[in-house]
Chain A
Amino acid sequence: MPKQIVEIIMPQLAESLVNATIDRWLKQPGDMVDMYEPICELITDKVNAELPSTARGKLVKILAGAGELVDVGTPIALVETEGAASPAAEMPTAPAEPMPASEPVNRPAAVQASPAAAFDPDAPMRARYSPAVQKLAADNGVDLSRIAGSGMGGRITRKDVLDAVTAGNRGNAFSAAAPAAPVEAMARMPEPPRIPIVEVDEGQAAPGSREYAIDVTPIRNTIAKNMRQSVNEIPHAWTMVEVDLTNLVELRNRLKDGFKKQEGINLTFMPFLLKAVVGAIKEYPLMNSVWAVDKIIVKRDINLSLAVGTEDSVLTPVIRNADQKTITGLAHEIHELARKTREGKLKLSDMQGGTFTVNNTGTFGSVLSYPIINYPQAAILTFEAIVKRPVVIGDMLGIRSMVNLCLSFDHRILDGIICGRFHQKVKEILEGFGPDTKLY
């Protein structure tokens, strides 16, 4: 049976992604790969992902090495398949090449490999800057170490800088967001020697240097970009309510041991909060919307983004259709997303489609915070630390478990009144949790 060589194409992992960096190869030339078997790990601006094979056969050649930034639609490996299996095997690759502007995929592999090599930060012409490039970079404040070179030997061309400037002016910063501009920064890759690391070495080598540089990771860069975009574009307004959680605290104390036994996970306050938020959004759907300049798009699905911090970043995995879940269901979802986040196992699908964000800032002891909206959503709510405080109830003083809920909202979409009502609704639901509350 004739053997056939099938190209494994870099897929479009998410709508806004135009490229991805190969972190490491899980398969080596000569290895057999099964259909959908992970062959390499990819790093993108958004998340790390494993790439499943789109063919069954023997991996014969790797076209893009670890650390290489590869454009969507570019072949990254060749797999030798049995002839008969190949038509089926090739089919999954078809949707993976949606970019009309990209070069024909059936080009010879060697030809494809050479443009990819242009992104190699160690390429011979990488740090050779022409006068035009230096002048443009200086005039526009472009950091050349953050731009990929499309020229011969990885040289940064005048056009690369102009593209980077254009991308920057459009508010996309120097990211990979602009398809026409391959300005992905090699510098942001969290692995072996890169240009900025050289600078770090120099800094450390210089005796008595009172500062040192930290590499900006892809995640850090994405956070920075999103935060800046949110603050730049969205006129933030802020409000806070106090909520009396005494009843809920009692309820949780009563149920938590049984819950742990039954469900195998801890019962926290978060599922109750999410339940309350979902209930309030149902009443005020405008909280679940997006500003689209000439209109406001209200989302029917309530997908709650949950801010989950790690040591060096914060991610916002999404609980889809949170309104369709019980408190127990939400508890499991939260537990699962937190686990995936800690273990670095989040998939792109875990990160997409959020419509409203909740942040449990109380976990790090905050009693008051001013959150930045998770762009392009309309609002974000924080759940601060629960603290016992003397509270006036009627004409008496009581010791109550109090919590602050802080809300930042997009003042283009939302005004004080609706947010106040939303806030009150969340408060009402939370304070309404008590002995009769059902977890299932």
Chain B
Amino acid sequence: MPVIEYIEAIRTAMKEEMERDPSVFVLGEDIGLKGGVFGTTKGLQQQFGEDRALDTPLAESAIAGVAIGAAMAGMKPIAEMQYSDFMFPATNQIISEAAKIRYRSNNDWDCPVVIRAPIGGGIFGGLYHSQCPESVFFGTPGLKIVAPSTAYDAKGLLKAAIRDPDPVIFFENKKCYRLITDEVPEDDYVVPIGKSKVMREGSDITVIGYSMPLHFAMQAAEELSREEGVEAHILDLRTLQPLDREGILEAAAKTGKVLIVHEDNKTGGVGAEVSAIIAEELLYDLDAPIRRLCAPDVPAMPINPPGEKHFLLNKDKLKAAMLELARY
């Protein structure tokens, strides 16, 4: 099985879906001729032409609006937000339109749109190229949100998102693009939306998270296993909405000690909901207070190296938090 980069997995998913289904097309800023600022859509315009790889004006509300309309008309658009930071002008289209179309039309209309948006920091992007806007869209019924951490899941989840009959936000982590490589099958497969995945089995503490910070958790877990004999159970949520309640509860009950990690800031983040689910269902299995390790509640990523380092999670921060919980 070939080992490929996270970004290539995303590109491959789009390419294969466009080959499979002529109603699939991509649109966004610089995604055509340039192939995207990160190169995610490279080659698609050459292969599928300008009509299926559309360069758009710098107007996210338009990108989302056009995509939503096309979806309602029977197409399967993949709208790219160049950075998720730029996506807020499109929130009205996404939350008030895409999310509600099936509901308000009593099932007459649907909106099978995919909105791809790179999240996360660590590339020295500062305030407007590092944000994690999950919590803005999270908790909006009618939207599905996925956030893969591996190349395998990126390809499988993007295919599932494209084939899904309802709007799906695909939060890809830009730090993962070329950092994360893993085995990805060449054949067609989907990763089901709404299913979490156990990344590592352990019996001492449970780490629940999504996207990039899980890789820090995995590195920390290996070190803790070697140095302290602490075995971490690590759960990748993969889908943020709908959350895999069963998977979360099972992982939490396994150890009774839960640490939730994400790069989005702590207050009102996905971790708050995960924590609430566990608190609602698992009081008698808890052996320690539920902990969260997230970015601080500051307005945005600082634009200086020490500030960025302080803001972001890393292996050592994960390791310290995991060890503290294990010793509790």
Name A's B-contacting residues (CB within 8 A): 130-135, 151-152, 155, 157-159
**Interface residues in chain B, defined as those with a beta carbon under 8 Å from any beta carbon in chain A:** 203-204, 255-257, 283-288, 327-328
Chain A residues, Cβ within 8 Å of B288? 130
- With known contacts A130-B256, A158-B256, A151–B328 Cβ distance under 8 A: yes
User: How far is it, in angstroms, between the C-alpha of A155 and the C-alpha of B256 when the chains are bound?
Assistant: 14
Q: How far is the CA of A134 from the CA of B285 in the complex (A)?
A: 9
Please give, as numbers and ranges, the residues of chain A lying within 8 Å of B203 by CB-CB distance: 159
Q: Are B284 and A132 in contact (CB under 8 A)?
A: yes
- Contact A155–B285 (Cβ < 8 Å): no
Q: B250: shortest Cβ distance to chain A, in Å?
A: 15
- Contact status A132-B328, CB under 8 Å: no
Main secondary structure of the interface of B (DSSP, over half): loop
Contact between A130 and B287 (Cβ–Cβ < 8 Å)? yes
**A130 B286 Cβ-Cβ under 8 A:** yes
**In the docked arrangement, what's the CA distance between A159 and B328, Å?**
11
Q: Least Cβ distance of A128 to chain B in Å? A: 11
Q: Which residue of B283, B287, B327 contacts A158 across the interface (Cβ within 8 Å)?
A: B287
Q: Assess A135 versus B328: contact at CB under 8 Å? Given A130-B256, A158-B256, A159-B204.
A: no
Q: Find out whether the CB atom of A135 lies under 8 angstroms from the CB atom of B327.
A: no
B285's nearest neighbour on chain A, judged by CB, is: A132
7 example contacts (A-B, Cβ-Cβ < 8 A) are as follows A130-B256, A131-B287, A133-B287, A151-B327, A155-B328, A158-B257, A159-B204
Could you tell me the distance between the alpha carbons of A222 and B78 in the complex, rounded to whole angstroms? 72
Known: A132-B285, A133-B287, A134-B284. 10 other contacts (CB 8 A): A130-B256, A130-B287, A130-B288, A131-B284, A131-B287, A135-B285, A151-B327, A152-B328, A155-B328, A159-B204
Contacts of A132 in B (CB 8 A): 256, 284-287
> Which residue of chain B has its CB nearest to the CB of A134?
B284
Q: In the assembly, what is the distance between CA of A437 and CA of B96, in Å?
A: 110
B286 neighbours in A (Cβ, 8 Å): 130-132
Q: Is the CB of A131 within 8 A of B328?
A: no
Complex-state Cα separation, A161 to B257, whole angstroms: 14
Given contacts A158-B256, A159-B204, contact A131 B327 (CB under 8 A): no
Alpha-carbon gap, A133 to B288, bound state (A): 10
On chain B, the residues within 8 Å of A157 by CB distance are: 287, 328
Give the shortest distance, in Å, between B232 (CB) and chain A (any CB).
Answer: 14
**Which residues of A are found within 8 Å of B257, using beta-carbon distances?**
158
Report how far A134 CA is from B288 CA in the complex, Å: 12
In the bound assembly, the distance between CA atoms of A134 and B256 in angstroms comes to 12
CB distance from B277 to the nearest CB of A (A): 16
In the docked arrangement, what's the CA distance between A153 and B287, Å?
A: 14
A residues less than 8 Å from B256 (CB atoms): 130, 132, 158
> Which residues does chain A contribute within 8 Å of B283, judged by CB atoms?
131
Residue of A nearest to B204 (CB): A159
Contacts of A158 in B (CB 8 A): 255-257, 287
Output the least CB separation between A144 and chain B (Å): 13
Q: Is the CB of A131 within 8 A of B204?
A: no
Q: How far is the CB of A158 from chain B (nearest CB, A)?
A: 4
Closest 10 CB pairs of A and B: A158-B287, A132-B287, A132-B256, A135-B284, A158-B256, A130-B287, A131-B284, A152-B328, A132-B285, A131-B283
A366→B145 CA distance, assembly (Å): 81
Q: CA separation between A131 and B285, bound complex, in Å?
A: 6
Rounded to whole angstroms, the CA-CA distance of A132 and B282 in the bound complex is 9
